[in-house]
Amino acid sequence: MAMQRYIVNFPRLSPDMLDIWKTVPSSIASDVQNRCQSMDARIKPCAPGMRICGQARTAVSMPGDNSMLLTACSLAEPGEVVVVAGAGLEEVALAGEWVVRGCKSRGLGGLVIDGSVRDLQEIRTIGFPVFAKGSVPRGPHKSFGGKMDVPAGVGGMVVNPGDLIIGDDDGVTVVPLAVMDEVLRRCLELMAKEKVWSQQLDAGKSLMEVLGVPEPEIVETPTLR
């Protein structure tokens, strides 16, 4: 299979808009999208505290091959997130120290892999945000082919070039480009509500009171003799 790069033109978010999005947790972005749009629970940051917020550039790799990942990491623009459809294969690492160093030096926004990585200690030292299913010593092959900037199935989600990727300790949520403005409005509204809920809980109100859970029906049990 040949390596193919598709030409895509999508609206780029302004730095000011990205700064607003960076305040939104992955859980909030999922909640306002009908509690959906979150990737496989096994796709997690390589170190606690890593965070991603940027628009996607996609790579679809042949299983166990990282040539399209290398291509995408070389061609993506600063701030963009390379999202790799690795077929969920966990037995082969598609990225390691050198990939991550290259991504950081180019100012990319992060790397999300539906598969594994290696050189975990070095990745943590470098500090560049990488999300993956796990780590394994076995490295990848190259030049078997793949595609860049096409719809990609990653962690159970369809990711298109330009979609917003939000990653934190909870995992990764995808915000489709077509609904980004409406989703952001709902996120900010929910975050404002949660701030009030937090204040009410700190003031001593119960979870039932704050979240509007109805009183349970009282059922009398027969007295045992």
Are 85 and 114 within 8 A, CB to CB? yes
- Ramachandran assignment for 189, one of left (phi > 0), alpha (psi -120 to 50 degrees), beta (any other): alpha
- Helix/strand/coil (H/E/C) assignment for every residue in the chain: CCEEECCCCCCCCCHHHHHHHCCCCHHHHHHCCCCCCECCCCCEECCCCCCEEEEEEEEEECCCECHHHHHHHHHCCCCCEEEEECCCCCCCEEECHHHHHHHHHCCCCEEEECCEECCHHHHHHHCCCEEECEECCCCCECCCCEEECCCEEECCEEECCCCEEEEECCEEEEECHHHHHHHHHHHHHHHHHHHHHHHHHHCCCCHHHHHCCCCCCCCCCCCCC
Whether 21 has a binding-site annotation, put simply, is no
Residue 119 assigned to a binding site: yes
Residue reference for tokens 């496989």: 40
Q: Is 163 annotated as a binding residue?
A: no
Q: Is 220 flagged in the annotation as binding?
A: no
Is 98 flagged in the annotation as binding? Answer: yes
109 is in an annotated binding site: no
Q: Give the separation between CA 95 and CA 120, rounded to whole angstroms.
A: 10
- What is the C-alpha to C-alpha distance for residues 56 and 64, in angstroms, rounded to an integer? 21
Binding positions are: 96-99, 118-119
Binding positions for substrate are: 96-99, 118
Binding positions for Mg(2+) are: 119
